[in-house]
Amino acid sequence: MKTTVINLEGIESVLSPAGVEKQLCKRSCIHSVETNFMTGTATVRHDASVTLSEIKGFVADCGYRCSDECMPEHVVKVHEMGHGGGMSMKAMMLDMRNRFLIPFMLAIPVFLYSPLFTQVFKVQLPLPFGLSNEVLSFLLATPAVLYGGWVFYVGAWHGLKNRTLNMAVLVSLSVLAGYLFSVAATFLFEGQVFYEAAAMLLAFVLFGHWMEMRARSNASEAIQALINLAPPKATVFRDGQPVERPTSELVPNDIVLIRPGDKIPVDGLIIEAAPR
């Protein structure tokens, strides 16, 4: 059996990787899959005959992407602590921030023109171009629902495709139910509209998702900084002679030579020390 760590792309939330785990484990050549949302990685234990290209194909069938990087078994534990691939964590955080700000700004006027505000506070704001409250709310809520919620709609499609009810399915169902009913009540029949509920719900969920991304970004950067402390190469004895080898090629029971000023490449025991 062989272990490979792959970098996943397109992971929207903590529950998103569940579909990857479920679908990959259906393959007879895959023994187990453990995904890590914080690092954006998946640890795949599989038959030695399975290639990286085949694993990437399996991941693509689940609706996600896999970067070209993979790590051999003896460095799995290190990479489980920090490496992600594809879109940087900071870029993902900024994208989620933008997806929150636009629906949030649009949700404010949608609420001010909603039946809840006008009926409770007895205030009717001026209506531009002779539009009704419902039509104006539709024009304001539509870009918020489409742009802000797109990441959840894609995640819901992936989840349903993989027969997994993740958080994206719940958010999409909640937002679209209120929005689509309101659209029908605006143009097809008379009824109560809930544009403000859909827009505000989406804004609150996106805010929480943005905070989650910030925490994930900060944790990933801190762990990445710790991993970068390890030197890329180490001086190891081979046939009694010190030679320089990549740290990833070290195996148990290797004897590593540490000179003054060198970084410690791996954990180990001191077996001999030269006097000062």
Please state the domain count of the chain: 3
In a domain? residue 179: yes
Q: What is the CATH number of the domain that holds 29?
A: 3.30.70.100
**Do 181 and 113 reside in the same domain of the chain?**
yes
N-to-C CA span, the chain: 46
Most confident of 67-81, 110-124, 183-197, 206-220: 183-197
The interaxial angle of helices 149-161 and 167-187, nearest 10 deg, is 120
State the residue range of the domain holding 42: 2-79
169-207 pLDDT per residue, tens:
889 999 999 999 999 999 998 888 999 999 999 999 999
Mean pLDDT over all residues of the chain? 79
120/27 same-domain check: no
127 and 148 part of one domain: yes
Say yes or no: 132 and 237 in one domain: no
128/199 Cα distance (integer angstroms): 21
Q: Using an 8 Å Cβ cutoff, are 82 and 39 in contact? A: yes
Q: Are residues 212 and 242 in the same domain?
A: no
Q: Is 4 helix (H, G, I), strand (E, B) or coil?
A: strand
- In this prediction, residue 12 carries a pLDDT of 57
What ranges make up the beta strands (E) of 55-126?
65-71
Q: Is 39 helix (H, G, I), strand (E, B) or coil?
A: coil
Q: Which of 52, 63, 53 is nearest to 2 (CA)?
A: 52
Examine the domain organization and report whether 192 and 133 are in the same domain: yes
Tokens of 40: 């954006």
Q: What is the pLDDT of residue 11?
A: 61
Domain co-membership, 98 together with 75: no
Most confident by average pLDDT, 184-193, 210-219, 263-272: 184-193
Please tell me the least confidently modeled range out of 43-47, 91-95, 233-237: 91-95
- Of 23, 55, 79, the one marking the end of a domain is 79
| pLDDT at res. 101 | 92
- In angstroms, rounded to a whole number, what is the distance separating the alpha carbons of residues 1 and 8? 21
Looking at the domain assignment, is residue 84 inside a domain?
no
Query: In this predicted structure, which of 83-87, 158-162, 228-232 has the lowest mean pLDDT?
Result: 83-87
Q: Tokens representing 46?
A: 């599989």
- Domain assignment present for residue 248? The answer is yes
**pLDDT tens readout for residues 16-63:** 666 677 778 888 888 888 877 666 677 888 888 888 888 888 887 776
| Domain assignment present for 8 | yes
Split at pLDDT 50, 70, 90, the class of 80 is very low
